[in-house]
Structure 1
């Protein structure tokens, strides 16, 4: 009986470590990306509509009410900017590229307001300094519709 206890302890330790590892992998996968519930939103329709774009900007800047998808965007935008969209799904990266290219080309004032709110320490801009305007920031090539 005494000789089986160390073996049992090793087996239980192995299973608890592997079980913990599996749980860690599952939890990591669960928080790996931002929610994808609104990934199929027609971002081009929003960007083409001054009214819709203004509503989203007011939401993001805490100047107006938010749609459900606007609330989620506002919740995750600071982290996405800090982490360079590291938790974004591929679709979200394409959407971000489309929006960023559009704001830089047509609405620099909106982009500046977003930077003033979400990049207060200038870290996002510092990461992208030294690039010509539109060079590093223009992710429009990621947009499938162009």
Structure 2
């Protein structure tokens, strides 16, 4: 299964969206990198470093600016008509989602197929991969949040 499809299915599991958003908004993590790590579970620390370097650059140049515009467009902006503002917000939201997908496809290309590494019930190796991703990302995240994500993905 392709990473994007796996991520959509994983993100639909109970508790996963909330945990991902907490890790993103409160601890500066990248949801795509975390889910990629749980899916790919690379053994080579260099792969984590390359993936996080690419994702950090993509965040700065593409995702963060799109996300900031989308969030700014949430509130009314008189005299701009609400329907026009909301339409533009939906367009930006679609661009943000497309940018996420481009990043995910890039991460998948860096690591290749997960083979049998992402089997259900393998919470321990998912947690190891999440911990390695956080370390490579360079910003701390709470162990309990990572454990909750690993459990939600297992």
Return the TM-score normalized by structure 2: 0.27
Give the number of the structure with larger relative contact order, counting CA–CA contacts within 8 Å between residues 6 or more apart. 2
Richer in helix (by share): 2
For the pair shown, the structure with the greater C-alpha radius of gyration is 1
